[in-house]
Amino acid sequence: MDPDSLRALGRRFWYAWGTVTLASIAAVLATTVVVAPADPWLVALTGVLAVVFVALATVSQTQGDRLDAAGTVVAAVGWAVWSVGAAVGFPGRTFWTGWTLIAVGAAVGLWADHGHRVRAAVGV
């Protein structure tokens, strides 16, 4: 993504994107206050990160970076799993499931952004 292609999306897109992102963050924080345990900071943080990752995936998708968008969505699902897990005390496998989804999503996103450099370095 270069600055010119991001500017080409126009103000209408950015205002709508910002409005939906901020409304989603407010909804996550309001939900955290209602359902979170006595110490809700981890639930709020991971929930907000899930929203931010979905917002970033939306921008990647509009730029045609489908693989990057897919990786970012997978990482967002990992953050959402952690948020739910933190709200209920990380029962069973929620910690490692969330962590794995975050790591896989990050790896896919990195490959989407830098895979061409890796292929060039190894001669493929």
Kindly tell me if the per-residue pLDDT of 1 is higher than 80. no
CA distances 62 to 14, 20, 106, Å, are 12, 15, 19
Please state, in angstroms and rounded to a whole number, the distance separating the CA atoms of residues 28 and 42: 12
Please give, one letter per residue, the 3-state secondary structure of 24-89: HHHHHHHHHHHHCCCCCHHHHHHHHHHHHHHHHHHHHHHCCCHHHHHHHHHHHHHHHHHHHHHHCC
Q: What would the mean pLDDT of 56-77 be, rounded to a whole number?
A: 96
Residue 38 reports pLDDT greater than 90: no
With 80 as the cut, is the pLDDT of residue 48 above it?
Answer: yes
With beta carbons less than 8 A apart as the criterion, state whether 94 and 82 touch: yes
pLDDT in tens, 68-107: 999 999 999 999 999 999 888 888 899 999 999 999 999 9
Question: Could you give the angle at the alpha carbon of 61 between the alpha carbons of 67 and 1, nearest 5°?
Answer: 85
Q: What is the pTM of this model?
A: 0.90
The C-alpha atoms of residue 16 and residue 27 are separated, in whole angstroms, by 16
